[in-house]
Amino acid sequence: MPEILLGAYTLKSHGTKLARIHLHDWLILILLIVIEIILNVIEPFHRYIGPHMLTDIMFPFHEDTIPFWAVPFPTIVLPIIVFAVYYYHRKDVYDLHHAILGLAYAVLVTGVITDSIKDAVGRPRPNFFWRCFPDGKAVFDNFARDVICHGDPRIIKEGYKSFPSGHTSWSFAGLTYLSWYLSGKIRVFDRRGHVAKLCIMFFPVLTAALVGISRVDDYWHHWTDVFAGALIGSTVAAFCYLQFFPYPYDNDGWAPHAYIQMVIAERSGRANSSTVRTEPPATNQADVEVGSYDNNSMRSID
C-alpha cells in the first residue's frame, strides 16, 4: 500500500479521538499496575530448604550489577524515545499511540505473569544461604529441619523469588518488542538482501540477553530462571506487538493496523464521492419526467 502525505494524523488532530477509543485499554493497564504492586507486597511461598539442599544456594551475596530501578530505562524509556523520534519525522499518532500501548501491555503482562510465578514457586536464589544466615551460622528447625532465618526479613523475602528472572523477562519484553518495531520500520525482510539491517534488529535482543547474563554472574538467579524469563518476555512481546502491527515481513509491516484501516477507509470515501460527482445530470425532458415520477412515487410510498 503506497504511503500518503506525512502529517495527516497528528497528536493535535487525532490524539483525543484515539484516547477515547482506547480508554478501556488504558484503564486495564491501571488494573495491571495495581496487580503488579500487590504481587510484590505479598509474601512468596517459602519452599522447604533442608541441610542437604544448601549446595546450590551458598554463593556470595552482594548488590546486583543492574538494580531493579535501572531496568525501565533500556526496556521502557529507550523504546519510547525511538517511537517519539519516528513520530517527529512522520507525524503519525496512530503509530505513536499503538506502539506505546503495545509496549506497556508487553511489560505489564510480563510482570504480572513473572511475579505470579515467583510468588507461587518460591524457589531460593543462588545466594539464599547468606541472605538467610548473614553471619554464616546455619540454624534449622529441630523437627522438620527447615531453615530458621535470622537475617533481614526484606532480604530474605526476595531470596524466595528466584524463578523466573524478573530482570530478564522485563528486558526481553521491552527490547524484543522494540526489535519487532524496528524490523517493520526499516523493512528488514524486504527481500533485498540488506543483511546489515539485522544488526539493528538484533541489538536490542543482545542487550536483553546481557541483562539476563548479569543476573547469573551476580548469583541472583540460576540459569534456568533466566531462560524462563527470556521465554516469557519474548512470547508476550510478540503477542502484544502483533495485536497492533502486522508481521514485519508484510508489505505493510511498517504501519499499525489502525493506520492502514484509516487510509483505506478514507480512500474508499474519496472514491465514492468522486463517483457521485461525475454522474451525468439529466439532459432531456424524458429524464426529467422519470426523475419527477420517481420522486413522486417515493413520496406516495412514504
pLDDT in tens, 240-250: 999 999 998 88
Give the pLDDT band of residue 264 (cuts 50, 70, 90): confident
Paired residues of 147 in beta bridges: 140
pLDDT given for residue 276 in this prediction: 53
Q: What is the CA radius of gyration of the chain?
A: 29
β-sheet bridge partners, residue 9:
92
Annotated domain spans of the chain: 11-52+68-126+160-263
The terminus-to-terminus CA distance of the chain in angstroms comes to 44
d(CA 229, CA 226): 5
Q: How far is CA 93 from CA 53, 183, 184, in A?
A: 55, 19, 17
d(CA 196, CA 139): 57
Please give the average per-residue pLDDT across 18-37, as a whole number: 92
Residue from 24, 167, 194, 222 carrying the catalytic annotation: 167
Q: Which of 189-198, 230-239, 252-261 has the highest mean pLDDT?
A: 230-239
Enter the C-alpha cell of residue 130. 547468606
Region of 239 (left: φ > 0; alpha: ψ -120 to 50; beta: rest) is alpha
207 band by pLDDT with thresholds 50, 70 and 90: very high
Mean of pLDDT over the chain: 86
Residues 6+ apart with CB under 8 A from 198: 188
Percent of the chain at pLDDT exceeding 70 = 83
What are 92's strand-pairing partners? 9
Q: How many CA atoms lie within 13 A of 242 on its CB side?
A: 10
Ramachandran quadrant class, 169 (left: phi over 0; alpha: psi -120 to 50; beta: rest): alpha
Number of residues assigned to the chain: 302
Helix (H, G, I), strand (E, B) or coil at 169: helix
**291 φψ region: left (φ > 0), alpha (ψ -120 to 50), beta (else):** alpha
- 89 is a catalytic site residue: no
pLDDT, residue 298, reads 38
Q: How confident is the model at residue 197, as a pLDDT?
A: 86
Q: List all residues 6 or more positions away from 207 whose beta carbon is below 8 Å from its beta carbon.
A: 74, 171, 175
- Structure-block grid coordinates of residue 23: 480508554
Q: State the Cα–Cα distance between residues 15 and 25, nearest whole angstrom.
A: 15
Q: What is the pLDDT of residue 291?
A: 42
Q: Clarify whether 24 is annotated catalytic.
A: no
Confidence at 302, pLDDT banded by 50, 70, 90: very low
Q: Give the tens place of pLDDT for each residue, 155-165.
A: 999 999 999 99
d(CA 214, CA 62): 13
